[in-house]
Amino acid sequence: ETGVTQTPRHLVMGMTNKKSLKCEQHLGHNAMYWYKQSAKKPLELMFVYNFKEQTENNSVPSRFSPECPNSSHLFLHLHTLQPEDSALYLCASSQTSASGGSSSYNEQFFGPGTRLTVL
């Protein structure tokens, strides 16, 4: 138990469906992340939220829409996905510290992931 939970753990959806992934962290952190792990690629960052503000969008297609209502919750809204979007989606959180106008990101802790299959 890392203090980061994700639901659902498994999801099967059609290409025309709309679904959402949920992540919650109980660590008091102020930064949250979405990562994607495909079968043939290394783990790669999708989005970063720091103090509820999106600070990174790693060229992710618009069919993935993140939402961060507060520092403890992060959602990933999915619509009109493609079969190649099937992957393990991992959420992470960390504590950031501000210094000289920039933020320093510390150790990240990951949730158990949502295994998504798009038919």
Question: Which helix H or strand E contains 23, and what residues bound it?
Answer: strand 18-25
Please state the closest distance from residue 16 (CB atom) to other proteins, in A.
26
> DSSP string spanning 46-82?
EEEEETTEEEEE-S--TTEEEEEEETTEEEEEEES--
Based on CB atoms, which residue is closest to other proteins, 65 or 112? 112
Based on CB atoms, which residue is closest to other proteins, 33 or 64? 33
Q: Where along the sequence are the contacts to other proteins (CB under 8 A)?
A: 2, 31, 33, 35, 37, 42-45, 48, 50, 55-56, 58, 88, 90, 92, 94, 96, 102-110, 112-113, 115
Please state the closest distance from residue 53 (CB atom) to other proteins, in A.
12
Strand, coil or helix: 34: strand
Tokens 């959602």 belong to residue: 75
Please state the closest distance from residue 36 (CB atom) to other proteins, in A.
11
Based on CB atoms, which residue is closest to other proteins, 71 or 103? 103
What's the token pair of residue 74?
Answer: 């992060």
